[in-house]
Structure 1
């Protein structure tokens, strides 16, 4: 199992009292699979993704990636583990505007004090269809191309799992289809494990499995479902909230 979540809970303390974002979530994401996580606004989707990726610490429960329990790692070891074994793609790309596409892909290794092989960077960009854009800066790329650079960067260290938080949320429909096709290819052709949060039933329909969250709990799972089925289920969930 690439990722295992065991009784995962996350509570935030605020001025109006504590808020439970996750409430005892137990699930797993198998190697070489594509999972979409959906739910109404405020259901805990992004919190689940951030805790699973080690970007946030859960209040209770355990996250394991490739058998490594993240809660057992010191902050320094967790940072190294995330850098080497976890890829993360954000909705707003998070590229450095002053760097070229190639430099953005190599950035994680540079930050770790390691030199990135130029040929490997070129291959990484070619794998996402951007072999001819290595010298372009983000402002010279379309939104879809920027997201593909972000995916190439996330995959550059060959992580155990790629987490994607609304990866098509800032894209038009054409660019969204291209990014989703790329993620699907990463799973089918390269055996990658992808876990994606999305609000889009069309994007979720590309996944092997859809996990539905409500109030921080898993309430349903769909496998092999197409966009209309997913949309109908989401509508029913939203009406029940």
Structure 2
């Protein structure tokens, strides 16, 4: 399979932090591939390396060894300016805290990545992005005039406006009630069915992970298990086994 069919590749990636007296290995020779048109959930106990995994995929953390490849481009080979451009064009971000600018309208928030890139912003393009997340007619609303679920959908539209190769989501339903959470997860599921991109989501919630095609489990910086087309019960059981002390 051509590497271009993968939105993200981890090739024996290791990342160690040296902030205390002893180095802490956050990722240990992690290898994984994420094909376009797929939805992957990343799970694991606290301190398992999930956040570092996502930050390395986004090019926000430099790896000590191995390779991270996004859209066919190895991140380590890029200078700071080229890496910034790649993140802007190839990677979309969705966070637990929606990170919308309160003084801007929904349309202005969605258009922001294009403006930062110095690109011309077409009104129709922004309207289409908001329509894709079910927010037609809300273009002029500011975040304070939208529900939490609607704000997260604006954030998803903003992440997708550059047509990235991968959408990275960090606990995207963590600040939402169950109804709005389900709506956002269904939307992410639909986004992943677009064969031009992959969706990779970090979550602690088995019900959220149940929307994914596969679940990757991390423990102590290593991939210890992968479930394909899992049920929520299977995911919950696997998480319980990972969090149960062995001695």
**Fold agreement, TM-score > 0.5:** yes
Give unpaired runs (5+ residues) of structure 1: none
Q: CA deviation at 1:235?
A: 0.6
Asked if 1 retains the 8 angstrom alpha-carbon contact of 2:96 and 2:172, the reply is yes
TM-score (norm 1): 0.97
Alignment of 1:167-182 (within 5 A): 167-182=172-187
Q: Helix, strand or coil for the counterpart of 1:81?
A: helix
Asked if 1 retains the 8 angstrom alpha-carbon contact of 2:40 and 2:215, the reply is yes
State how far apart, in whole Å, the 1-side matches of 2:216 and 2:58 are.
17
Matched, 1:28 2:33: yes
* 2:133 matched residue in structure 1: 128
Matched, 1:48 2:27: no
Q: CA deviation at 1:190?
A: 5.9
Aligned length: 241
* 1:83 matched residue in structure 2: 88
Asked if 1 retains the 8 angstrom alpha-carbon contact of 2:36 and 2:195, the reply is no
Q: CA deviation at 1:104?
A: 0.3
State how far apart, in whole Å, the 1-side matches of 2:187 and 2:114 are.
23
What is the CA deviation profile of residues 54-94 of structure 1, one whole-angstrom value per residue up to 9, with x for unaligned ones?
A: 12211221101121101000010000011011111111011
* 2:202 matched residue in structure 1: 197
Aligned counterpart for 1:119 among listed residues 118, 124, 130: 124
Aligned counterpart for 2:213 among listed residues 208, 226, 234: 208
State how far apart, in whole Å, the 2-side matches of 1:195 and 1:60 are.
22
Q: Helix, strand or coil for the counterpart of 2:69?
A: strand
Q: CA deviation at 1:186?
A: 1.2
State how far apart, in whole Å, the 1-side matches of 2:223 and 2:238 are.
14
Q: CA deviation at 1:191?
A: 5.0
What RMSD in Å do the two structures reach over aligned CA positions? 1.2
Matched, 1:13 2:18: yes
Distance 1:41 1:227, change over 3 A: same
Deviant stretches of 4+, over 4 Å: none
* 2:166 matched residue in structure 1: 161
Q: CA deviation at 1:240?
A: 3.4
Q: CA deviation at 1:17?
A: 2.5
Name which of structure 1's ranges 229-238 and 14-23 shifts more when overlaid on structure 2. Answer: 14-23
* 1:140 matched residue in structure 2: 145
